[in-house]
Chains A and B, each alone.
Chain A
Amino acid sequence: MKRFSKGVAIALIIFGVLAPFIPLLIWSVARRWYFPAILPTEWSLRGWSYAFSNASRLPQALRQSFAVSTTASLLAILIGMPAGRVLGLYKFRGKTLVEFLILAPTIVPAFAVVMGIHVLFIRYGLADTLSGVIIVHLIPTLPYVTLVLAGVFANYNVDYESQARSLGANTWQVIRYVMLPAIYPGVIVAGMFAFIISWSQYLLTLMIGGGRVLTLPLLLFSFASSGDNNVTAALSIIFILPAIALLVITSRYLTGRNASLGATRGN
């Protein structure tokens, strides 16, 4: 009986996670699929062939999405890593304040901030450019990266660094041969978080990119609100594939011992 109920619970979890994907997958190849048909009466690749045609601008959107998300996550890691190290390793006066400041952007919706900046970006030519979009993507990504890395550094033993130093290693060598090998699983997790946050941004990209920077969410959104289910479903699937691939690549670092996110505020 107990075994049975556990089985039911697990089946429910599986179904719950997968349910919204089912209509997406079917719609991407359906044609004339009207209520009350459970399965389409006709099949068609119209959604896919449109998505891969020149008309859809998909290649451009993919390129710009990747450009924005990879650059924003790399920048966030570069900027966030030193702060993550300090927050994870040291106690100092004002630490709570610093933590609060770094957490603040996760609580305040980013568009409240970007609405204010927008006018300056227009004035100084940053609006409608990739760089402008990358800069505002730092607002939602940097806090997550810093906090994940703080969690990673909290489990990092600095003693190895002093040992390396006493053996004559310089700062760069310490970073390269001691610190990075020890923390890279956490860096990858942080990078994945940042990439996914940036990859999914719609409103910030729309506001600062103004449609000229055309990322996948913008492309998808204009179809999602137009009611063309075939194209919307095909674009949705294309949109989630890189995110899933990234999860597959990084999942080994995400589970088990590396409870980084939970640990950040856990101390």
Chain B
Amino acid sequence: MSALQPRSRFTWERFRIPLLLAPALSVILLLFGGGLLLTLSQSFGYLPIIGKTEFSLAAWQAIFQRGEFWQSLFLTLWIGGVATLTSTILAILCALTLRKQFRGKKAITFLFQLNIPIPHIVGAIGILLLFSQSGLIARLANLAGMINDPAQFPALVNDRYAFGIIAEYVWKETCFIGTIVLATLQSVGEDYENAAASLGANRWQRFRYVTLPLIMPGVLTASILVFAFAFGAFEIPFLLGRRFPSALSVLAWRSYTDTDLALRPEAMAMSLFIALVSTGLILLYMTISRKLVRE
């Protein structure tokens, strides 16, 4: 939808685009790109400015040989994948519900956006107080006569399947993706669907061939952001996870803050690995889902 500016006669206008892009790009290239390179360089134990001039693959070898690393990687993939999938599906369902007219729609739509600005740490604390074995839900289960000791309530935080971590992401990201889908749906209106209905399409067909392609670009972007976040976040797995195995980010942070500085290259290698894996998976996901949408 981009408008094309008529070619300008002034010579400085030829540099207009690079000039306007320069501030943002230089910040990103210097701060982000430069930082990434520094991390890479230090993962090889190489940083002449502080007198480290030897290049070594030891840190990378060390992390790949650590059993805990692979367990953590698997756990992190599980968390990111399940959290993204669940919140995407729930978000679409919520948006489809909330687009309809009903009493109090304005208030409820506002409520739906309410937890977008809530920091994840607070969400994590809320989930902990809600889902722990002596949390509010366990107490309700006790009231209902379903359990009489906390130990009978299933372990839902700091647990094996990372339920608590996933629940926090789903709680927050459903609203994030849902708001984007809702905005798309409302700006498009129901004309296309009505047209499809008049041509005899059933509910599922209308959703699959009309609504879904319309909302797909927004869903795609949002779910990528959610996956990348869930894959690399620290606070939530730190508060709601288990001591072993822990999420990759927590493992990397533990190595980074160890009183043995020799572990820092390993921390750098692990963080880069997180970055690599999440970028790779996102590229894969984009290719596949673009293809699916086209079909």
Contact = CB atoms under 8 A, between A and B. Distances in A.
A–B touch (CB < 8 A): the answer is yes
Interface of A: 6, 9-10, 13-14, 16-24, 27, 34-38, 78-80, 82-83, 85-86, 88-92, 98, 101-102, 104-109, 111-117, 119-120, 123, 135-136, 138-139, 142-143, 146, 154-155, 157-158, 192, 196, 199-200, 202-203, 217, 220-221, 224-225, 229, 232-233, 236, 239-240, 243-244, 246-247, 251, 254-259, 261-262, 264-267
A203 B126 CA distance: 20
B228 A111 contact: no
Contact of A200 (B112, B121, B224, B278): B121
B224 A232 contact: no
B119 A116 contact: no
Nearest to B140: A38
Given A82-B24, A98-B25, A200-B119, 7 more contacts: A27-B129, A112-B39, A113-B31, A221-B121, A224-B239, A244-B114, A261-B218
Name B's interface SS. helix
B121 A224 contact: yes
Contacts of A20: 123, 125-127, 129-130, 171
Contacts of A146: 24
12 contacts: A17-B171, A17-B175, A23-B130, A107-B275, A109-B232, A115-B39, A116-B40, A116-B268, A117-B31, A217-B119, A224-B124, A265-B221
Given A109-B232, A236-B125, A13 B112 contact: yes
Contacts of A85: 20
Contacts, number: 299
A109 B275 contact: yes
Most chain A beta-carbon neighbours within 10 Å: one of B23, B117, B231, B239: B117
Given A10-B97, A17-B112, A112-B275, A101 B35 contact: no
B165 interface: no
A13 B113 CA distance: 11
A24 B184 contact: no
A89 B3 contact: yes
